[in-house]
Amino acid sequence: MTATRLATGTLGAALSFALFSCSADKSTQSAKPEIEFMTSVDPSSGQGDEAVLTARFSPPVGRTLREARVLLNSGLDGRFACYVYYLKPDNAFRLVEDTGSGSTGIAVGAASSLENSQCSLDGTHSSAQMDGNVVLLSLALKFKLPWFHGNKKIYLYAEAADGSNSGIQPKGSWTVTSGTAK
């Protein structure tokens, strides 16, 4: 399966910039209620030019997860970032483009990859698993040096089918260096 592009102006593209951009005009964003999601990432810290991160999203009882997002960047900005999200209804991963104004996508389990100037997501070694209402995302990432290097924060965000969300949660850090730490 080949990667597909999500056109500018769609929900995913609008959220890619609005959710993770410090410079976005917050006055034009509609407020959605924040609720308590249980989220975590493993490992919560590390270093190297590649990583397999497992993000866990558990919405409160009675809520169903619609999408889950993982952002790695030096700050809270979806532009020029390694920014991956999972759309549960489509069972697909998306990687936000450098400008934050669009994304490309693949079905979970696809024998292909997604990439921007900061990272690539290996579709063959990435997965989304459901255990009841809990979603576990395993993301096989390779970071692109020299453009994407140094200390990066890991942020998680989840949204339920009713629009309620976790809010943006800092959950870890990754130091992008050459060579994978063992």
Q: What is the tens place of the pLDDT at every residue in 16-51?
A: 444 544 333 333 344 566 778 899 999 999 999 999
Average pLDDT on 140-169 reads: 95
| Verdict on whether the full-model pTM lies above 0.85 | no
By residue range, what is the domain housing residue 126? 4-22+35-176
pLDDT digits 0-9 by tens, 40-80: 999 999 999 999 999 999 998 888 999 999 999 999 999 99
Among 7-21, 98-112, 133-147, 156-170, whose mean pLDDT is lowest?
Answer: 7-21
**Is-contact 94 105, C-beta < 8 A?**
yes
Average pLDDT on 154-173 reads: 95
Residue 25, burial from CB neighbour count under 10 angstroms (0-12, 13-18, 19+): exposed
Quick one: the chain helix, strand, coil %, rounded to 5? 5, 50, 45
What's the CATH code of the domain at 47? 2.60.40.10
Average pLDDT on 114-140 reads: 95
Q: Percent of the chain having pLDDT more than 90?
A: 70
pLDDT digits 0-9 by tens, 86-110: 999 999 999 999 999 899 999 999 9
b/e 146-182 (16+ beta carbons within 10 angstroms → b): eebbeebebbbbbbbeeebbbebeebbbbebeeeeee
Report how many domains make up the chain: 1
Residue 163 placed within a domain = yes
* Amino acid 77: pLDDT: 95
Place of tokens 């949204």: 159
* Amino acid 36: pLDDT: 84
Return the number of other C-beta atoms located less than 10 Å from residue 144's C-beta.
16
Residue 60 placed within a domain = yes
Residue 102 placed within a domain = yes
Residue 155 placed within a domain = yes
Residue 182 placed within a domain = no
Residue 101 placed within a domain = yes
* Amino acid 14: pLDDT: 36
Residue 42 placed within a domain = yes
Cα torsion 123, 115, 67, 39 to 10°: value is: 80
* Amino acid 174: pLDDT: 98
4, 111, 142, 173 from 156: Cα distances, Å:
24, 25, 19, 12
Residue 28 placed within a domain = no
Q: What is the DSSP letter of 7?
A: P
Return the number of other C-beta atoms located less than 10 Å from residue 117's C-beta.
12
| CA 36 distance to own-chain centroid | 19
* Amino acid 119: pLDDT: 98
